[in-house]
Structure 1
Amino acid sequence: MQHSEYSKLVTIAGWAAAGTATLLIITKLVAWFFTDSTSILASLTDSLMDVAASIINLIAIKVALTPADEDHKFGHGKAESLAGLAQAAFISGSACLLILGGFNALIKGHPVQDPRFGIWVMVFSIVVTLLLVAFQTMVVRKTGSVAIKADSLHYKSDIFMNAAVLIALALAAIGFNWADGVFAMGVGGYILYGAWQIGKESVDALMDKRLSPEDEAKVIALAYDNPQVLGVHDLRTRQSGSTKFIQLHLELEDHLSLYDAHEVADKLEAQLDKAFIQADIIIHLDPVSVVKPGNRLARA
């Protein structure tokens, strides 16, 4: 995928999330006005957090797509992870407020007005969110964007949350008013768990966590595809935004010419460029006789 296509997809996904959240805020605000439901208020609060998180995402994506400059020679990709961390903080705050609100409604036995109207609004919310998540999933599959992945996880949790609110309203419609508060607390707990997952992934990226074992195995396998490569060691990987950083040492015959050794490295670099989106690759060449066999990575 070209950088321009990556930029276009993640930007569209960011705007789609912001637009969807705004639409849901309007519909849930109307529903809360007519129903006075605590669980709908919980869902409305979450949608307000969605808009704030999506705006942060849009800003982060714009920064992350900025090319490397004199002060940031490795690019600005970590802006996406910072956005994910900010989202986790927003989501955690809203979740705690929802849990407190649900507990208060449960204690006071707050009745729900016109639950059937609220039910239709929540069905609409679920359908719209499903469409957004399907689009985000496609974008993440093509780009691997951390920011869009975090946003998608957030909206996936919204589907379950909206379904829970739907059940609460259905129970309230047949006289079980306690369900409104209980489900609001349950939604808050689920959102808090989602915030933990987003925060953990963002911290992993900021702390330069290695790529997945599958990605590293792919790198090793591609290196050994060339029969002139006698060994691979000191593989280091990490990801910053859309860019995957890959560093490794190749072990070659002692008497291979510098030109031929360079050709081996160039071929591997071309293979890795095809295998990974936005790869930044550094390959060091070592004579096989100076490398300790114990350091060599096994063939995949």
Structure 2
Amino acid sequence: MNPYDQLKKGERGAWVSIFSYLLLAITKLIVSYLANSQALRADGLNNTTDVIASIAVLIGLRISRKPPDDDHHYGHFKAELIASLMASFIMVTVGLQVILTSFQIIWSGTFTQPTSLASWTALASTIIMIAVYLFNLRLSKKINSSSLYAAAQGNKSDALISLSALIGISGAQIGWYWLDPIAGIFVGAIIVYTAWDIFKDTSHTLTDGFDDNTVAVIRKFIEKDPEIIKVRDIKGRQHGNQTFLDIIIYVEPSITVSHGHEITDRIEKALADQHSIPHAHIHVEPNPELVND
């Protein structure tokens, strides 16, 4: 599939998240007022910030679809990674806010007893967010989208927040008032950890980090070609959802330029077909051990 078509498909996930969060935020804020639930109100405010994060992902995907121009010869795919960073910043802010609010409730002892309407709303929100998470996770893996994967992790965190709200609300209804803030601290920690994980991976990619295990697999794959004596060097980097490789190979010194070109074409096609790597720059060198002095 064309990378621009992949990004266009990824926008579906961003739109699903935006509409889901808008619906849940409005519903939770209204119900929290009617049902006297602080946990549900915090969850609704969390979904409001999620709308902003989802819009950031959508903008990143839209920019990534722009073709190469005079200033961006390799395209705009890295805009997607910047969107992932923004999503992680928003997530960590929300996570820390959830933890702080939970500690404040424990410290002040200002507990409330919500009605059953709040419980049903939290349960419905949990189910909806799990469905959105699974949809975006499958789509992100299908199109290899880092920002949509980050959005999916945010969806999962929001499902856990709603589940935490459900547990806290249910506990408060039977007199276990402490359960609400304790669950809030636990889920807040999960959100912060998820945000850090996304930030770490995205920063690694933006600074042209590349997995050593992937390099080893590609080296082994290329060296299976009977006309390649050795892979001297492989350098790789991610450009959004695209992989770029620079490869130096050793071949028989006596082959013609045309023959060397045929070898590189064959390797490039194999990498594209079997490893989904359409961008490989391969430099051919004569094997120094076979070159006559």
- Contact 1:251–1:285, Cα closer than 8 Å, also in 2: yes
Please name the residue that 1:96 is paired with: 96
CA-CA distance at 1:143 after TM superposition: 1.1
Equivalent residue letter for 1:250: I
CA-CA distance at 1:111 after TM superposition: 3.2
Matches within 5 A, 1:17-28: 17-28=17-28
Q: Distance in 1 between matches of 2:141 and 2:150?
A: 13
Equivalent residue letter for 1:203: S
The alignment status of 1:14 with 2:14, answered yes or no, reads yes
Please name the residue that 1:31 is paired with: 31
- Contact 1:61–1:79, Cα closer than 8 Å, also in 2: yes
Matches within 5 A, 1:43-58: 43-58=43-58
TM-score scaled by length of structure 2: 0.93
Q: Distance in 1 between matches of 2:43 and 2:201?
A: 24
Q: Distance in 1 between matches of 2:192 and 2:32?
A: 22
Please name the residue that 2:186 is paired with: 186
Once structures 1 and 2 are overlaid, which stretch shifts more, 107-116 or 220-229?
107-116
CA-CA distance at 1:3 after TM superposition: 2.8
- Contact 1:38–1:105, Cα closer than 8 Å, also in 2: no
Once structures 1 and 2 are overlaid, which stretch shifts more, 248-257 or 135-144?
135-144
Q: Distance in 1 between matches of 2:275 and 2:153?
A: 23
The alignment status of 1:251 with 2:250, answered yes or no, reads yes
SS at match of 1:237: strand
CA offsets, 1:163-211, max 9 Å, x none? 2221111111101122222222322222111111111111111111104
Aligned residues: 291
- Contact 2:229–2:249, Cα closer than 8 Å, also in 1: yes
Please name the residue that 1:151 is paired with: 151
Please name the residue that 2:82 is paired with: 82
Q: Distance in 1 between matches of 2:44 and 2:32?
A: 8
Equivalent residue letter for 2:175: G
Once structures 1 and 2 are overlaid, which stretch shifts more, 102-111 or 137-146?
102-111
Equivalent residue letter for 1:20: S
- Contact 1:230–1:253, Cα closer than 8 Å, also in 2: yes
Q: Distance in 1 between matches of 2:172 and 2:190?
A: 21
Q: Distance in 2 between matches of 1:278 and 1:232?
A: 17
RMSD over equivalenced CA pairs, Å = 1.9
Q: Distance in 2 between matches of 1:185 and 1:197?
A: 18
CA offsets, 1:90-145, max 9 Å, x none? 12222222222212222232333434211111111111111111111221221110
Equivalent residue letter for 2:199: G
Matches within 5 A, 1:1-300: 1-211=1-211, 213=213, 215-277=214-276, 279-289=278-288
- Contact 1:10–1:61, Cα closer than 8 Å, also in 2: yes
- Contact 2:64–2:76, Cα closer than 8 Å, also in 1: yes
SS at match of 1:289: coil
TM-score scaled by length of structure 1: 0.91
CA-CA distance at 1:227 after TM superposition: 0.4
Equivalent residue letter for 2:101: G
Q: Distance in 1 between matches of 2:181 and 2:96?
A: 14
Q: Distance in 2 between matches of 1:247 and 1:27?
A: 52
SS at match of 1:255: coil
Structure 1 pair 108–193 and aligned structure 2 pair: CA distance change class (3 A):
same
Please name the residue that 1:294 is paired with: none
CA-CA distance at 1:254 after TM superposition: 0.6
Q: Distance in 1 between matches of 2:32 and 2:205?
A: 38
Once structures 1 and 2 are overlaid, which stretch shifts more, 241-250 or 111-120?
111-120
Once structures 1 and 2 are overlaid, which stretch shifts more, 102-111 or 49-58?
102-111
Question: Unaligned stretches of 5+ in structure 2?
Answer: none
Question: Unaligned stretches of 5+ in structure 1?
Answer: 292-300
Equivalent residue letter for 1:155: N
Q: Distance in 2 between matches of 1:157 and 1:32?
A: 20
Equivalent residue letter for 1:136: N
Q: Distance in 1 between matches of 2:190 and 2:227?
A: 53
- Contact 1:39–1:183, Cα closer than 8 Å, also in 2: no
Structure 1 residue ranges, 4+ long, deviating more than 6 angstroms after superposition: none
Q: Distance in 1 between matches of 2:137 and 2:98?
A: 27
